[in-house]
């Protein structure tokens, strides 16, 4: 019974994200056929691609709900290994 309650919530949470991603794709398709310089078009499309990738990462990889402390701990572990790279390179 609780699974059906969660699925309704999931649809309400992710459906707007799908529509935003579809809108971004439509904007990219529309802009591709407009008269822009190549550099300007690349800049615009790159910004839109980064935005859609961020949405995909945050919502579909569930990074929007990840605890901030968990990401900080991963960063600290990465910094420790960067300080001592000689431990990983010895055979």
- pLDDT digit string, tens, across residues 6-35: 555 777 778 888 999 999 999 999 999 999
Residue 1 banded pLDDT, cuts 50, 70, 90: very low
Maximal C-alpha separation, the chain: 57
Provide the b/e sequence for 16-53 (b: ≥16 CB within 10 Å). Answer: ebeeebeeeeeeeeeeeeeeeeeeeeeebeeeeeeebe
Give the residue-averaged pLDDT of 54-73: 70
Task: Write down the residue that tokens 């910004």 correspond to.
Answer: 47
pTM of the model: 0.60
Give the residue-averaged pLDDT of 31-55: 93
> Could you tell me the residue ranges of all domains in the chain?
2-66
Question: Cβ neighbours of residue 51 under 8 Å, at least 6 residues apart?
Answer: 24
């Amino acid at each position: 019974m609780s699974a059906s309650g969660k699925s309704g919530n999931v649809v309400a949470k992710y459906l707007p994200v799908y529509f935003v991603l579809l809108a971004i794709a439509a904007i990219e398709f529309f802009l591709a056929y407009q008269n822009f310089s190549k550099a300007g078009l690349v800049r615009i499309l790159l910004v839109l691609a980064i935005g859609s990738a961020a949405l995909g990462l945050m919502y579909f990889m569930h990074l929007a709900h990840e605890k901030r402390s968990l990401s900080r701990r991963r960063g600290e572990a990465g910094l420790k290994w960067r300080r001592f790279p000689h431990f990983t390179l010895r055979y």
